[in-house]
Amino acid sequence: MKINENVKIKELTTMRLGGLARYVIELETVEDAEKAYLFAKERQLPVFILGTGSNVIGKDEGFKGVILLNRIKGIRFIDELTIDAMGGELLDDLVAFTTKKNLSGIEALSAIPGTVGAAPVQNVGAYGQEIEQVLESVHAYDLKEEKYVTIKKEDMNLGYRQSIFNQGKDAGRYLIISIRIHLSHDRLTPPFYTSLQSYVEEHQITDFSPKSIREMVTEIRWSKLPKPEEMASSGSFFKNVYLDDQEAERLRNMNVPVWEGNKVPSGWLIDHAGLKGKSFYGMRVSEEAALILINESAQSYAHLKQAREEIVSIIEKKYGLTLKQEPVELE
């Protein structure tokens, strides 16, 4: 494992904010998880687990502890349809691998930034697929009990952008070493999620093989989403809003779209509040996807905080709904 000191968090996170981390340890083997944890424990320092930082925001004061970066690599078949992938692999590399093998289950998760190890944390999803649909279990290092454990999907409490790994008393407790997924020889069938369906119709596509879906999703995504290496962002900055029946009715009466499960798309709210393309303290609401905040020139977390508060307040005044931030804060 590699130990680095006084590392800029802004260089480890795609929003490119944040002060110094006291230590950053890159894990390269399964055993490194325990060794790195003991390194922190001996020094009585807190631990934060990081992948590629595409859903984490650094703070100006930095982190006076140890950041553990999962860089453990490897993908292997357990049987014809079951795969173990190490947490340090990029999720998109895993999707490329499985689609090349003509296997279905994660092809619509193409081009989502981040590592395999982070995928179960917020139950990554796109175009109607979520990692939950194929996940069987994860192998993890339990920082509380100081031992390696296997956690079955049923025990992960997976939901919309949430799991035991980021919510509740066990948030941050497990360092995910690898995941086990079970894929299939099936094909996705139309109708697809809106933008994919439009693409299929416009280009008269009839090939819905995993490889073809991957190519379409990748093209659609990068036509409207900021590439982390080109523009600083954390992808969707606000979560969609889920309402009870009474609130859903109130919003419908305001002509706000309320989708299945009483879900209100936050991007629609931001767009219809006229905020697309507007800049707040160096943070710009993307013109292409209103849910995305791009860090154009903000140098500090304080700027992001001000921008967030202003947007939240505008939406509260207009719709009576409080938007919640999706990315977690490194603290």
Choose the binding region for ligand FAD from 28-36, 38-46, 120-128, 181-189 (rule: CB under 6 A): 120-128
CA distance 79 to 308: 47
14 binds ligand FAD (CB under 6 A): yes
Restricting to residues 31-90, which ones interact with ligand FAD according to CB under 6 A? 49-56, 70, 87
Q: How far is CA 56 from the centre of its chain?
A: 9
115 binds ligand FAD (CB under 6 A): yes
Q: Give all strands (DSSP E) within 157-213, no chain letters.
A: 174-182
Q: Is 161 a catalytic residue?
A: yes
The residue annotated as part of the active site, out of 161, 214, 284, 308, is 161
Q: How many CB atoms lie within 10 A of CB 225?
A: 20
CA distance 327 to 291: 12
95 binds ligand FAD (CB under 6 A): no
DSSP assigned state of 104: B
> Shortest gap between Cβ of 197 and ligand FAD (angstroms)?
17
Choose the binding region for ligand FAD from 112-120, 209-217, 300-308, 311-319 (rule: CB under 6 A): 112-120
Burial 231-252 (b: 16+ CB within 10 A, else e): bbbbbbbbbbbebeeebbeebe
Choose the binding region for ligand FAD from 142-150, 194-202, 221-229, 311-319 (rule: CB under 6 A): 221-229
119 binds ligand FAD (CB under 6 A): yes
Q: Is 236 a catalytic residue?
A: yes
Cα 52–Cα 53–Cα 54 angle in degrees, nearest 5: 95
Question: What is the chain's alpha carbon radius of gyration, rounded to the nearest angstrom?
Answer: 20
Nearer to ligand FAD, 87 or 210 (CB): 87
163 binds ligand FAD (CB under 6 A): no
The residue annotated as part of the active site, out of 104, 110, 233, 236, is 236
CA distance 315 to 24: 38
- The residues, ordered by sequence, that sit 6+ positions from 171 with a Cβ below 8 Å of its Cβ are 164, 165
- Compute how many residues bind ligand FAD; rule: CB under 6 A: 35
Nearer to ligand FAD, 133 or 247 (CB): 133
Choose the binding region for ligand FAD from 18-26, 35-43, 77-85, 231-239 (rule: CB under 6 A): 231-239
Are 25 and 3 spatial neighbours (Cβ–Cβ below 8 Å)? yes
> Shortest gap between Cβ of 164 and ligand FAD (angstroms)?
11
Three-state SS letters, 38-59: HHHHHCCCCEEEECCCCCEECC
Interface with ligand FAD (CB under 6 A): 14, 49-56, 70, 87, 112-115, 117-119, 121-122, 124-126, 165-166, 174-176, 225-226, 228, 233-235, 328
**Catalytic residue ranges:** 161, 236, 326
